[in-house]
Amino acid sequence: MTTKTKLVKRIFSSLLTAALAVPMTALTAHATGEAFFYPPKNPVMTDQQFEVSVTFSADAEIGSVQANIAYDDSVIEFVSSDNASGGGGVLTVNGFPDTPSSEVDLSFTFKGLSAGNANISLQSCQIYSPDSELIGSPTAYCVITVGSDKVETKTETETTTTTEKTTTTTTKTAPSNGIPDKGVLTALTVDNGELSPAFAYNVYNYTVNVDNSVTNVEIEGTTASPSDYIWYTGTSECQVGENVRTITVTDVDGNATTYTVTIIRAAGGDEQQTRTAQKKNSSDTSSAVSKNANVMDQYKKMLNTALAIVLIVLVIALVVIIIWIRGKIKGGKKDK
């Protein structure tokens, strides 16, 4: 066997090995990232400092995190963080794990400025691997409720024929239509779809069905008292299938009430799929089937891409062999 023949066979073997390795790489390299806010569990008052932490997680090792955090600087004020800089409503975040890990925890210190609700949202987030490959770009947000630390009082004077007595009592709002005056939601709205069942302060589980074209659903809750603290888990971004969001309301005494909203995004653009999902109310079985179908679709797309690459490599290998054969024929003619 000539040196030229060995070289061509070696090239062809290398190309074929690389082509066969492509499908495995395409099917396995699919890392994802998530982010969750963890605000304080107790209500926040004006002039009080409090901490908000964010956990970034992925199904692969994290090398770094870069993001922006937007907040309402008319209600809260940024104080400090080891991993952020800025102010005036926007922070620039750069975080790194202390040790090799698939999670990164960052904390930020704020201070209450005035009574009201302050949205804190994660924007332009990018989670990178140690090799600087993008793992994911998650979004997340929470709402900080800042209550006034002033207590309203009223004075009642009671006069008799012999003595005069003055007493001071705390003002308390009486329940309206049977709704408690603190620690619950009085309203809950979504910007896409409808709550099922209709909202009531003492109903804690809801379902929202949306079409496949809806990729983002915002949820807004209204508390019974301005001093109630409210925070959300989950992100406004909706994946196909079930997306679970929770809204927790905590009163000044530390009593918490949690509402759960399950947003079901249809698997396709067909309106019939949405109506079917509404009838079934997203049972566990239909949810599992929807998730499995979505995973299979992703694998099919990656496999099609991998097969196309294999065909290209094989065509290149075939061209190399043809060129070699033609060269061999020409060489034979010259020898004659």
DSSP of 52-98, one letter per residue? EEEEEEESS---EEEEEEEE-TTTEEEEE-SSEEEETTEEEEEE--S
Nearest to 122 by CA among 223, 52, 220: 52
- Residue 335 is predicted with a pLDDT of 60
At 35-53, the pLDDT tens digits run 888 888 777 888 999 999 9
Other CB atoms closer than 10 Å to residue 176's CB: what's the count?
10
- Residue 168 is predicted with a pLDDT of 32
Nearest to 104 by CA among 142, 61, 165, 40: 61
- Residue 147 is predicted with a pLDDT of 79
> In the predicted model, what is the mean pLDDT of the chain?
78
Model confidence band, residue 268 (pLDDT cutoffs 50, 70, 90) = confident
Token pair recorded at residue 116: 């009201």
Q: How far is residue 133's CA from residue 30's CA, in Å, rounded to a whole number?
A: 11
Q: How far is residue 45's CA from residue 24's CA, in Å, rounded to a whole number?
A: 55
pLDDT at 153 over 60: no
pLDDT at 326 over 60: yes
Token pair recorded at residue 240: 């196909």
pLDDT at 287 over 90: no
Nearest to 70 by CA among 100, 92, 45, 90: 90
Percent of the chain with pLDDT over 70: 71
Token pair recorded at residue 168: 């001071």
Q: Give 306's contacts (C-beta < 8 A, 6+ positions apart).
A: 22, 23, 25, 26, 27
Range scoring the smallest mean pLDDT among 44-58, 160-174, 184-198: 160-174
Torsion of CA 12, 14, 16, 22, to 10 degrees: -150
Range scoring the smallest mean pLDDT among 42-56, 117-131, 258-272, 294-308: 294-308
Percent of the chain with pLDDT over 90: 39
- Residue 90 is predicted with a pLDDT of 92
> ∠ at Cα 36 (32, 38), nearest 5°?
160
Nearest to 291 by CA among 242, 245, 237, 244: 242
pLDDT at 319 over 90: no
Q: What is the mean pLDDT of residues 85-95?
A: 92
Q: How far is residue 130's CA from residue 29's CA, in Å, rounded to a whole number?
A: 15
Half-sphere exposure of 233 toward its Cβ, with a 13 Å CA cutoff? 13
Nearest to 140 by CA among 31, 212, 65: 65
Classify the C-alpha dihedral 42-45-49-53 as positive or negative: positive
Across-strand partners of 117?
145
Other CB atoms closer than 10 Å to residue 192's CB: what's the count?
19
> ∠ at Cα 244 (242, 248), nearest 5°?
165
